[in-house]
Chains A and B, each alone.
Chain A
Amino acid sequence: MKTDSLQHQIDKLVKRASFSLRPDLMNLLIKAYRSEPVSRAKKALGWIIDNARIAEKENIPICQDTGFPVIFIELGKDIKISADDAKRIEKYLVTSYENNFLRASTLDPITRGAPSYKGLSMHFEFNPALKGVKLTFLLKGFGSENKSQLKMFNPTAKLEEIEEFVLSSVKSAGPEACPPFVVGLGIGGTSNDCLLLAKKALLMPLDKSNPDKTLFKIERSLFKKINSLGIGPMGFGGMHTVLAVRVKKEPTHIAGLPVGVNISCHALRYASIKIFKL
């Protein structure tokens, strides 16, 4: 495998996303560990941090649920991509899952049968400000994906109602979805758009505040309210139910207000690379 080949780049991406936590997430976990007053919750955070260090050192997955593969392909202005390229990206991802001993976790939804490495969620978008292509690969674990929620609000709904909806989603996610969470919230578009936005919100940097002032306020308010729910790391109580809340919005229809919630467990695993040739 040539080091600049697409296959090699994708393999690097898969390894990075599944064997290590991002520095911005790791920093939030360490900060939470230092300030958590409930001793059992602090122990849980200690386990989570140790786990990430072991995974990175020994090149094994952070979590045995190596997720449903989700890939975002951002196309810059100077790049041409064909259906063949998309097929190659898919093929290399599957190969990389197998070669790196990730878990076979995907199957036919009706017949079920033996789990395989087939199937992925692939999204294309254009970014004229970008040179080359940016690939962002997310391993979405299903303990937390199972807790996703959609609600079509009336256009006259108040912000407090949306907040209530997010709080009830987090409560129902509970200890099963592996808190402390990162909560992604998508507002607007159509039903599927707001859920995709919520997922993309999880990919925003955790060490920078939201550039949109209104969204920043919503994030800050939800962060406080979720952390006073007292679910805590692994459901052991304490101050840290959520590490960050991220919100994205886009225009919607006058008759509606779609809101999607996507919750990530503490193992929020994704990585990005830029490539200039497919």
Chain B
Amino acid sequence: MKFENLKSGEQFFLNDFLYTARDQAHSRLLKLIKAQSSLPIDLSDSIIYYCGPSATPNGRVVGSCGPTTSSRMDMFVEPLLKAGLRIMIGKGRRSKKVRMLIKKYKAIYFIAPAGCGALLSTKIVSKKLICFKDLGPEAIYRLKVKDFPLIVAIDSKGHSIYEDI
């Protein structure tokens, strides 16, 4: 995905694959990175979406699936960027450190409509469990999204629509 020219504040509709990961999944990825073990997903080619969907009702692709608070993942960002990650999606402000890291690694941070999990579920075409099944909603899922609405919160130059937290 090309994102280098996107500027903070711009709206963007994503058609791609996302990997959901929140607190516990991040903490496990970090352990694997520290132990130099192989990772269940190739971070350099991935978009991480801070999200733990509600259960999937019969006949639907996914339950409600909006973003969770990104700043709780701030402490995990540096090693993930080092391992190749460039695109993060969540809600809310980030620390100054994360903003500077985004600039350094030419990464990007998008926000998805917060508290709009029902709306966002209609933009998801498929869902597949990838790993950490025992974590239930906190497991890593691969979501295929179509016209998934996003706003650039911190662009690759480190410009943010928010103040640092």
A→B interface (CB under 8 Å): 40, 44, 47-48, 50-52, 54-55, 58-66, 98, 101-105, 112, 114-115, 141, 143, 146, 174-178, 234-236, 265-267
Report whether B113 and A44 are in contact in the complex, using a CB–CB cutoff of 8 Å.
Answer: yes
Indicate the member of A59, A62, A105 with the most B CB atoms within 10 Å: A62
Total count of chain B residues near the partner, CB < 8 A: 41
A and B contact pairs by CB, cutoff 8 A, 10 listed? A47-B116, A47-B149, A60-B117, A63-B66, A63-B116, A65-B117, A66-B64, A146-B69, A174-B165, A175-B91
Give chain A residues whose Cβ lies under 8 Å from the Cβ of B84.
Answer: none
Contact check, B66 vs A64: say whether CB atoms are below 8 A apart. yes
Q: B134: which of A50, A60, A114 is its contact (CB, 8 Å)? A: A114
A61 touches B54 (CB 8 A): yes
Q: Which residues of B contact A115 (CB under 8 A)?
A: 135-138
A-B contact count (CB 8 A): 132
Within the complex, which residue of B54, B71, B136, B151 is in contact with A101, where a contact is CB–CB below 8 Å?
B54
From 125 to 158 in chain B, residues with beta carbon under 8 angstroms from any chain A beta carbon are 134-138, 149, 151
Collect the chain A residues with CB atoms within 8 Å of residue B111's CB: 234
- 8 Å CB contacts to A: which residues of B2-24? 9, 24
Q: Which of B81-115 contact A (CB under 8 A)?
A: 91-93, 111, 113-115
Docked complex Cα distance between A103 and B162 (Å): 30
With a cutoff of 8 Å between Cβ atoms, the chain A residues found around residue B149 in the complex are 47
Q: Which B residue's beta carbon lies closest to that of A58?
A: B118
Indicate whether A60 sits within 8 Å of B113 (C-beta atoms), given known contacts A103-B53, A104-B137, A115-B136: no
Q: Give chain A residues whose Cβ lies under 8 Å from the Cβ of B137.
A: 64, 103-105, 115
**Nearest A residue to B92, CB-CB:** A176
- Least CB distance, A266 to chain B, in whole angstroms: 6
Give the docked Cα–Cα distance between A234 and B91 (Å): 8
Nearest chain-A residue to B117 (Cβ)?
A: A64
Q: A103-B54, A104-B137 given as contacts; is B91 within 8 A of A62 (CB)?
A: no
Given contact pairs A61-B63, A64-B52, A105-B137, A175 touches B162 in the complex (Cβ within 8 A)? yes
Inter-chain CA distance A233–B118, complex, in Å, is 18
Contact between B55 and A236, CB atoms less than 8 A apart: no
Q: Which residue of B lies closest to A46 (CB)?
A: B113
Does B9 lie within 8 Å of A40, measured CB to CB? yes
Q: Across the interface, name the chain A residue whose C-beta is closest to B57.
A: A101
A residues within 8 A CB of B56?
Answer: 101
Chain B residues with CB under 8 A of A66: 54, 64
